[in-house]
Amino acid sequence: MFKWLEKNLPKIVMAPAVGLIGWFVYGFVLWTLYISFTNSKILPKYELWGVGQYEKLWASRKWLISVDNLLVFTALFLIFCIVIGIILAIFLDQKIRAEGVLRTIYLYPMALSFIVTGTAWKWILNPTLGIQKMFIDWGFENFTFDWLVNREMAIYTIVIAGVWQSAGFVMALFLAGLRSVEDEIVKAAKIDGAGLFTVYWRILLPMMRPVFFTSFVILVHISIKSYDLIVALTQGGPGISTTMPALFMTQAAFHKSQVGLSAASAMMMFMAVAAVIIPYLYSELRRENAR
């Protein structure tokens, strides 16, 4: 008995992690998957009902708006975060004075919660006393900036706040990437007569492929899951113009008693994340094995 215990101690120590993740991650996802094939309303029902919830989901105007918003948000969020992140990383890489201070400033939003960020930006963007008033008081009397309450434009306020929060993070990833390149490569290229622009554009940035990949995966992941920021900034409004899948899911589950439908929407999100993450994990593992 004691021998057995000793021999299996490592596995026993590891058991809580494996058990908890097995139950709370895999078990729960399977449960949600199952429920998405039932006609559950307020409470889960366990008779199978087929793909009705998915049909309902894709026929729902609100869901289609959510997906549309997600695509717009993800595209802009990705572009701005990566462009700003790269510019800041390259500029900071030029032996800048006070680099540490600047880096700290660029990255501090990552330490804040999306609720804090959303609260701050909601105040800044509010049309009565925020930026709009500031410009009017400065003499631009016809200045209007009402994106927050404008159906067409409200989604972009979420982009503004989201980019503010995450661009510094991309900067940190790229800066770390640039700093890990051996000096010899840059020196050799310079001896060959390449200007610094060429060095970055032709040599360093192409070498940053894995960093691009990582940033892409992380940012897409953040955007699919975005929930807090929308709750704090617009609550999906005006109307339902800034709703997104994560918001759709929680509303269906906890406010509208559409448990089956919310499970179906959660599974769609799950599949979207899996489509991005599985290739990523696969390539990461291959890289690790190749080492």
User: In the chain, helix, strand, coil percent, each to 5?
Assistant: 75, 0, 25
Q: Which stretch binds another protein (CB under 8 A): 46-54, 62-70, 150-158, 161-169?
A: 161-169
CB 72 to another protein: min, Å: 19
Q: Which of 279, 281, 286, 287 binds another protein (CB under 8 A)?
A: 281
Using CB atoms within 10 Å of the CB of residue 275, give its burial: 0 to 12 exposed, 13 to 18 middle, 19+ buried. exposed
Distance CA 133, CA 137 (A): 6
Q: Which stretch binds another protein (CB under 8 A): 3-11, 47-55, 65-73, 143-151?
A: 3-11
Q: Which of 56, 60, 120, 127 binds another protein (CB under 8 A)?
A: 120
Residue 188 lies near another protein (rule: CB under 8 A):
no
At residue 38, what are phi and psi to the nearest 5 degrees? -115, 170
Write out the binding residues for another protein, residues 64-93 only, by CB under 8 A: 83-84, 86-88, 90-92
CB 31 to another protein: min, Å: 4
What does the DSSP 8-state code read for residue 271?
Answer: H
Residue 21 lies near another protein (rule: CB under 8 A):
yes
Write out the binding residues for another protein, residues 219-248 only, by CB under 8 A: 219, 221-222, 224-225, 227-228, 231-232, 235, 245-246
Could you tell me if 235 and 167 are in contact, meaning their C-beta atoms sit under 8 angstroms apart? no
Write out the binding residues for another protein, residues 189-208 only, by CB under 8 A: 195-197, 199-201
CB 229 to another protein: min, Å: 9
Distance CA 220, CA 266 (A): 16
Q: Which of 113, 144, 257, 283 binds another protein (CB under 8 A)?
A: 113
The residue count for binding another protein (CB under 8 A) is: 104
DSSP string across 4-47: HHHHHHHHHHHHHHHHHHIIIIIIHHHHHHHHTTB--SSS---S
Q: Which stretch binds another protein (CB under 8 A): 57-65, 70-78, 148-156, 270-278?
A: 270-278
Look at the chain and count its residues: 291
Nearer to another protein, 152 or 191 (CB): 191
Q: Which stretch binds another protein (CB under 8 A): 5-13, 46-54, 56-64, 66-74?
A: 5-13
Helix (H, G, I), strand (E, B) or coil at 138: coil
Write out the binding residues for another protein, residues 138-157 only, by CB under 8 A: 138
CB 158 to another protein: min, Å: 14
Please report, in angstroms and rounded to a whole number, the separation of the first and last CA atoms in the chain: 41
CA 83 to mean position of chain CA atoms: 16
At residue 48, what are phi and psi to the nearest 5 degrees? -70, 145
